[in-house]
Structure 1
Amino acid sequence: MKKQNLTITGGGSTYTIGMIMSLIEEKKTFPLRSITFYDTDAGRQEKIARASEIILKEKYPELETVSWTTDKKEAYEGADFVFVQIRTGGLKMREQDEQIPLRHGRVGQETCGPGGMAYGFRSIGDMIDVVNDIRHYAPEAWILNYTNPAAIVAEALRREFPEDNKILNICDMPAAIMVSYAKILGREIWDLVPEYFGLNHFGWFTDIYDKEGNRLTDDIKRAITEDGFIPEDSEIVNDPSWIKTFKQVETMLSHFPEYLPNTYLQYYLYPSDMVEKEEIDNTRARQVINGREKRVHTLSEQIIEDNSTENVELEVDIHGCYMIRVAASLAYNRGETYIVIVENNGIISNMPSDAMVEVPAALTSRGPKPFAVGEIKTFYKGLMEGQLAFEKLVVDAWYEQSYDKLMQALTLNRTVVDAPAAKAILDDLIEANKDFWPELYRSRQEAVTS
């Protein structure tokens, strides 16, 4: 089996060490020759990369090369796979994305509603640059992108690189939910076969089977209704916010019992409840800054100081394992089924062909081969069409630098649904993002003063 050369773009991410542990766990599934970390922030990356190097020397001695760089050529030349996990604006701007809508009584969340719009608007240009850089130095590399908000990013990349068949956008949330299904059933996640449709962070499990074809959906629904639903993935299992999020699945299932919902639907179906639960000075961004970020940096410092992992506890998470198994199926033509984001092209027969939908697909060396969903019912179609229009308008607005298109997008979004609120939020977001959206900021200032 050929050993792969992997580059992790966004190497300074707090998710990187979890990814490294997953690569170690899955090294027989996806064997590596080299790992290269690439980030534009050398200082942020170095600590994570140095700790990762120590972990890999201990637990992956057969790996030939571990390196880190801020040089694009060094990062991408010779790469077989590039995992992309960037955050334009960092956690500082994520906090703004969450706080500004909350100040106007609307959902403040990093990938949903106004916060998702702002994050996506910042991310599009950088993601296009990343893909262009990769293609310059590694024209045949697989690009696996899990940069959020995945729906907006995927739509932009579809438009910018319509002929590039080796870009695949992925979200690990369906897998994180399936880990909890597996726990309910006393099984491993890899034993489950999902049927699913939707947009990213906006979808439903229609059925869950095991590999022998036995339908397990009713068992899962019954267990959630009678015993509750909690996160099981190691990265979120003890997180109070995620515990509340999984608890909300019980409510969603009681109101809409037909399908098992993606957890992110809570923001669209219960926006008022979500606003009431948030503390404007302690949003998810602040919790991450004070929680995971500090924890990961402290852990990294301990590993570097000891030159060993002896005094730290390291865990494998589904986020990494899912990405790695996707990569392995592509690399070795395994045809395994995973939920990924692809262009619709008739998969959901009554949705637009150019929609970027999230569905199960068999992953081969020739790319994803998605399974047909067919026609979806009016309720789900109506919800999806509104969300899809929002996503497309955001991308339209980026290409046109259009205030009007952003105003339309926010007014459409189910977390806002009010033109005056949309305008107030948008104006505040433009002010907060003036360093990232200078053209939009200047045009807005000119409109106000004229």
Structure 2
Amino acid sequence: MKLTILGGGGFRVPLVYGALLTDRGEGRVTDVVLHDLDDGRLRAVARVLAEQAAAVPDAPRVTATTDLDEALRGADFVFSAIRVGGLEGRANDERVALEQGVLGQETVGAGGIAYGLRTVPVAVDIARRAARLAPDAWVINFTNPAGLVTEAMSRHLGDRVIGICDSPVGLGRRIARVLGADPKQAWIDYVGLNHLGWVRGLRIAGRDELPRLLADPDLLGSFEEGKLFGVDWLRSLGAIPNEYLHYYYFNRETVRAYQQAEKTRGAFLADQQARFYEEMRDPGAAALAAWDRTRAEREATYMAENRESAGAGERDADDLSGGYEKVALALMRAIARDERTTLILNVRNQGALSVLDADAVIEVPCLVDSGGAHPVAVAPLPEHATGLVCAVKGVEREVLAAAGSGSRATAVKAFALHPLVDSVNIARKLVEGYTDVHPGLAYLK
């Protein structure tokens, strides 16, 4: 079975390959094709993968190419993890927003809109090519903003594109862990959009254990979200929000922390990964050791500004292992082998969440089999959450409209309508600032 990884020179690709190395079952991935626009990054990542596979018999074969059509042709699965504009683009997203006093995070608020505006046209081109060159392939999207990009691709691939994210998986795992339960045996009632969802229940043997967690302040304050949001706020909500909702619930504090930070997250990662890829220019460097060292630092500093503003301290060791690669492997196994499972995924709504239309991509538990991912119907959200979900989905639709039409006015509208921008004048300044620094937004007229 052939897996094509778009963004194959990206830093997190070895996580995916490492997961593939653990799969010895029938119908496993035997060929991995890495595609990237940067040949140097491709060679660096290929070296890491070669060291990973050194002691593994019958490891999946790895090839690399800068030709997109060659990479897509004949693929069974396509894993899309591109970053349009690179980490320099992410750093610019953050900087331009913070200069206007608003959040520049890559998936939330102004930064997420800017990233979406320059990513959607590229993702749509990939979707069209995949439909032509690999019509039977399943496209697994991890490109951020994951829900928005998945919805853009679904307009050309239908339900054969599925978005994944490790945030809901990690959240469910943490809740189950503090309750003393096996995450694999728990049903997680999670609903929302990507990076905008809530756990409303966690059922073990048919019993909802979330009320027990909410009633115990010591237990509730013992894990990441309890430290990040505070026990009182979680009990007020009666749910456990995705960690990215910290940007909404504590926006002013987070913006202030980002403004005071020595470097933004994007600038930090740009410098850090530049050092890694530079080190890989030395043919004698130990590629896997260098990658693993860099990855550990990356994971430990994840959402550092948010944790600092909340006084949440360092991340727990159990939360430093990532997880999206495990979701991707479980999804591929379920489809390729009809190994039925339940995963929280980004898929077209199809009536699962009644407040949104059928084509809106949402993030909910899905039953997965050889026919793809089927969203499970979920109970309505409370009014405050419904309002937020509808507002952000409305912004996503304006981003898609702007990307499709090239309308600068529609791009301004997308920024202005976002709850974390809330000013038409600031929206205009953001569009001006982003078009000045991003060549990929030159299409906006």
* TM-score above 0.5: yes
Answer whether contact 2:21 2:60 (CA < 8 A) is retained. no
Answer whether contact 2:166 2:322 (CA < 8 A) is retained. no
The alignment status of 1:158 with 2:157, answered yes or no, reads no
Partner of 1:221: 214
| Aligned partner (choices 108, 119, 124) of residue 104 of structure 2 | 108
Partner of 1:66: 62
Give the alignment of 1:356-395 within 5 angstroms.
356-395=361-400
| Aligned partner (choices 41, 44, 48) of residue 44 of structure 1 | 41
> Structure 1 residues 67-76 or 328-337, which shifts more?
67-76
> Structure 1 residues 417-426 or 79-88, which shifts more?
417-426
Aligned counterparts of 2:217 and 2:275: Cα–Cα separation in 1: 31
Aligned counterparts of 2:215 and 2:282: Cα–Cα separation in 1: 44
Give the alignment of 1:105-144 within 5 angstroms.
105-144=101-140
Aligned counterparts of 1:286 and 1:183: Cα–Cα separation in 2: 33
- What's the % identity of the aligned pairs? 28
Aligned counterparts of 1:308 and 1:369: Cα–Cα separation in 2: 37
The alignment status of 1:5 with 2:5, answered yes or no, reads no
Q: How many residues align?
A: 419
Instruction: Return the offset for 1:224.
Output: 6.7
Instruction: Return the offset for 1:223.
Output: 6.0
Aligned counterparts of 1:354 and 1:220: Cα–Cα separation in 2: 35
TM-score (norm 1): 0.85
| Aligned partner (choices 224, 228, 231) of residue 248 of structure 1 | 228
- Once the two structures are superposed, what CA deviation does each residue of 1:367-420 show, in whole Å capped at 9, x if it has no partner? 112111133332221111111111101111111111222222212111111222
* 2:202 counterpart SS class: strand
Aligned counterparts of 1:99 and 1:134: Cα–Cα separation in 2: 34
Partner of 1:235: none
| Aligned partner (choices 242, 266, 270) of residue 246 of structure 2 | 266
Question: 1:252–1:97: structure 2 CA closer, same or farther, 3 Å change rule?
Answer: farther
* 1:99 counterpart SS class: helix
Answer whether contact 1:73 1:137 (CA < 8 A) is retained. yes
Aligned counterparts of 2:377 and 2:162: Cα–Cα separation in 1: 18
| Aligned partner (choices 85, 95, 113) of residue 89 of structure 1 | 85
Question: 1:201–1:86: structure 2 CA closer, same or farther, 3 Å change rule?
Answer: same
Answer whether contact 2:178 2:219 (CA < 8 A) is retained. no
Structure 2 alignment gaps of length 5 or more: 297-320
Answer whether contact 2:220 2:231 (CA < 8 A) is retained. no
Instruction: Return the offset for 1:230.
Output: 4.4
Instruction: Return the offset for 1:226.
Output: 4.5
| Aligned partner (choices 288, 309, 317) of residue 269 of structure 2 | 288
* 1:143 counterpart SS class: strand
Aligned counterparts of 2:291 and 2:15: Cα–Cα separation in 1: 17
Structure 1 alignment gaps of length 5 or more: 232-244, 444-450
Aligned counterparts of 1:437 and 1:334: Cα–Cα separation in 2: 42
Instruction: Return the offset for 1:324.
Output: 0.8
> Which amino acid counterpart does residue 179 of structure 1 have in structure 2?
R
Instruction: Return the offset for 1:335.
Output: 2.3
> Structure 1 residues 166-175 or 342-351, which shifts more?
342-351
Instruction: Return the offset for 1:79.
Output: 1.8
Aligned counterparts of 2:116 and 2:407: Cα–Cα separation in 1: 15
